[in-house]
Structure 1
Amino acid sequence: MSRILVTGAAGLIGGEVCARLVAAGHDVTALVHRNPEVRSNSGAAVAVAQTVACDIRREKLGLEREVYDRLAHDHDLVIHCAATIRFDLTDEEYAAANTQGVAHVLALAQAGGAGLLQVSTAYVCGNRDGPIAEDDPLPHPGGFANGYEASKAAAERLVRAAEIDWAIARPGITLGDYETGRIRQFDAIYLAFKLIAEGRIRLVPAGREATLNFVPIDHVAGGIAALVENWDAAKGGTFHLVSSEPLPMVDFARGIGSVAGLHTPTLVDPEAFDAKQLPPLERRLHGRVSALYASYFQRDPRFDDSNLRRVTGLASRPADAAYLERLIGYCVEEGFLPTASVMAR
């Protein structure tokens, strides 16, 4: 495999995947939307063969026919990273980006006979707790915590029905590098994390046994690159890119509070939590950010990654207190979270 097209190449996962593929000697075409810069998680520019701006929500990706045909026939594999990861959109917006977008990318792959590696999410398991195998059936349409999960599951169904070679990669909650905590951009769940750590959100509804499947970006991108290198064995498979040991919510709260200047959130029973009783500012912040991620603070899915280990030989590492400490340390180092001296002012 040498000619690879990566959608969402300017994103966090897409950029690091491009960096690893280029380093391995592959010819990579980067599909981007508004941001034309393809960068690794370190922030370094990636020397892709070409960058093409498109819109996956549109037929033929909004490209001129000549460009579309060239892309379709010049690549052996499409890695589809592009998606919206926001949790505050309408069902129509999720469908356009995450489901119809996949249909349009599938059409591109089919037009040229390329394979497709779909980047989904481990949380297509929906509201289930306990052991989750990679080959378990998807939940029924009403079994998801939010529209994001439902749209990614609908996309998986499209991929499985396609008459091309395909594989599906399912990352957990993707955060910073395992050894350093480094992350190229602070968004998604980092925003809720910031409000909690700064004490602007003090009460967090959380299940007693809830866990967070934090997985480092290097394992996610490394896993995707490894599936490319083992494509013949990966075809037709589904692969969890997850932590071997998720982080308990109680350890998450304790870990935040162990850092000087940061606040320990109070975890409360979701059944007893009433957002209307919060102070006005905290209530507004909870509604705008924290509530969007609330379901992840109340679940305990245990993702198995046997398929990934069998095909690639990769083993995930635990999302333990030491990893959380490195994540927080990097956030403080970069000024995303305050130091004790700043909080004291």
Structure 2
Amino acid sequence: MTSSSRPTVLLTGASGVLGTALLTELPSSCDVVALIHECGCPGAAQQVRGDLTAPRLGLNRAAYADLARRVDVVVHCAAVTDFTKGPGATHALNEAGTRAVAEFTADAGAVLHHVSTAFVARNELTRSRLGRETGEAGARPEDYLDSKRAGEQVVRDSGVPAVIVRPSIVIGDSRTGEISAFQGLHGILLMLLRGLMPLVPLPAASLIDFVPQDVVARSVAALIADGRRAGEVWVTAGPEALRAQQMLDLVSDTCAELGLSTLMPRIVGADMVDRLIRPVFLAGGLPKRALRRFDDMLAMTALFADAPVFPTSLGQLAGEQQPLTSSQLTAALRQTLLHLARAKNLGNAPEPTVARPMAAGVSA
């Protein structure tokens, strides 16, 4: 580990959603080294090619030792987030890969900032755990959540100084909506924009907790700057999260802004879907691909139906850091919808106007 006042940060997952956002937030105060796998990372000045599933991070002994001597902080963002990958591939990176990162952190005498997910608190709300039929769904949130809980346990058992960071759903940049790769929520939003969701199996008051990627990145950067070495940090909207009906209203307003004549879905209870709508009206009348898409949506929305409010750690750092408000979240989601519309050539989406970054801070 170096003794410089300017820390060297090893960033995994640098080409992913949070990694790309972190690359814009960290360089002003840190020297960042991106651990890359197959593809390069244009935003990283320093890159090391490695593999989290291989011994010594896929490096030879000399390269591994040299990297360990340089690194003060490890930010571990790399993860399988695709709910359809299955338990084997998911655990290989999210659990075993985290073990390799923790071992490197110990060898470097560094501090680990492990990016997990707030949804570890909702592991029992998957349809399979609730005893509901999963149908044709390829999405299995339980595999992802099991792997992230296991990854957190690896960090706790490792004995290295570590901060576990738990963001909720990560959407695009709060100012532009831009994101390096569309996520699960983007798929649902796209179906809504295209009028392909006739119903939403959620109580209207269900909280849909999301945070913009730049807010998460600045929160991690603030933790590093603060010298945080332990604790669990929840980067969530908490009680300010938008409700399902508010999100549908925003989608409707955005469709009007885009000049799209899109019918909004009907909100129904999951029990009605399971007892009547799916077996009677959908199972025999939808192509298999469409039915699988519907069942994937059921799998994902189960995590929100009448779920408790997430804890939140936002708003406690010094300076101008403030908790997120529902109006800020509404504005950020609008930008995500507009960016999605631009990317998919839907309607007449205006170009983004970059404003002041959305402020958010954290406490342990």
Q: Are 1:32 and 2:36 counterparts?
A: yes
- Shift in alpha-carbon separation, 1:312–1:157, aligned structure 2, 3 A: farther
Q: Are 1:181 and 2:177 counterparts?
A: yes
Q: Distance in 2 between matches of 1:52 and 1:92?
A: 26
2:251 aligned to 235, 256, 265, which one? 256
Matched residue, 1:223: 219
Number of aligned residues: 315
1:325 aligned to 334, 341, 360, which one? 334
Q: Which runs of 5+ in 1 are unaligned?
A: 39-45, 130-141
The C-alpha deviation readout for 1:87-113, integer Å capped at 9, x for no partner, is 112222221110111001011111121
Alignment-mate amino acid for residue 255 of structure 1 = L
TM-score by length of 1: 0.83
- Shift in alpha-carbon separation, 1:321–1:166, aligned structure 2, 3 A: closer
2:73 aligned to 48, 57, 77, which one? 77
Q: Which runs of 5+ in 2 are unaligned?
A: 1-5, 131-139, 350-364
Cα offset, 1:294, TM superposition: 2.4
Q: Distance in 1 between matches of 2:168 and 2:244?
A: 15
Task: Tell me if structure 2 keeps the 8 A contact 1:88–1:292.
Answer: no
Task: Tell me if structure 2 keeps the 8 A contact 1:2–1:27.
Answer: yes
Matched residue SS, 1:178: coil
1:241 aligned to 228, 235, 240, which one? 235
Q: Distance in 2 between matches of 1:179 and 1:99?
A: 33
Task: Tell me if structure 2 keeps the 8 A contact 1:256–1:263.
Answer: no
TM-score by length of 2: 0.79
Task: Tell me if structure 2 keeps the 8 A contact 1:8–1:80.
Answer: yes
Task: Tell me if structure 2 keeps the 8 A contact 1:209–1:300.
Answer: no
Q: Distance in 1 between matches of 2:109 and 2:207?
A: 41
| Greater shift in the superposed pair: 178-187 or 27-36 | 178-187
2:150 aligned to 151, 154, 157, which one? 154
2:98 aligned to 94, 102, 113, which one? 102
1:89 aligned to 43, 65, 85, which one? 85
Q: Are 1:284 and 2:284 counterparts?
A: no
Q: Distance in 2 between matches of 1:56 and 1:324?
A: 33
Matched residue SS, 1:296: coil
Task: Tell me if structure 2 keeps the 8 A contact 1:167–1:235.
Answer: yes
RMSD over aligned CA atoms reads 2.5
Cα offset, 1:326, TM superposition: 2.8
Alignment-mate amino acid for residue 241 of structure 1 = V
Q: Distance in 1 between matches of 2:235 and 2:54?
A: 29
- Shift in alpha-carbon separation, 1:167–1:56, aligned structure 2, 3 A: same
1:15 aligned to 9, 13, 20, which one? 20
Q: Distance in 1 between matches of 2:309 and 2:200?
A: 22
- Shift in alpha-carbon separation, 1:310–1:254, aligned structure 2, 3 A: closer
Alignment-mate amino acid for residue 96 of structure 1 = A
Q: Distance in 2 between matches of 1:98 and 1:312?
A: 33
Matched residue SS, 1:251: helix
Query: Where in structure 2 are the equivalents of 1:186-225 lying within 5 Å?
Result: 186-225=182-221
Matched residue, 1:293: 300
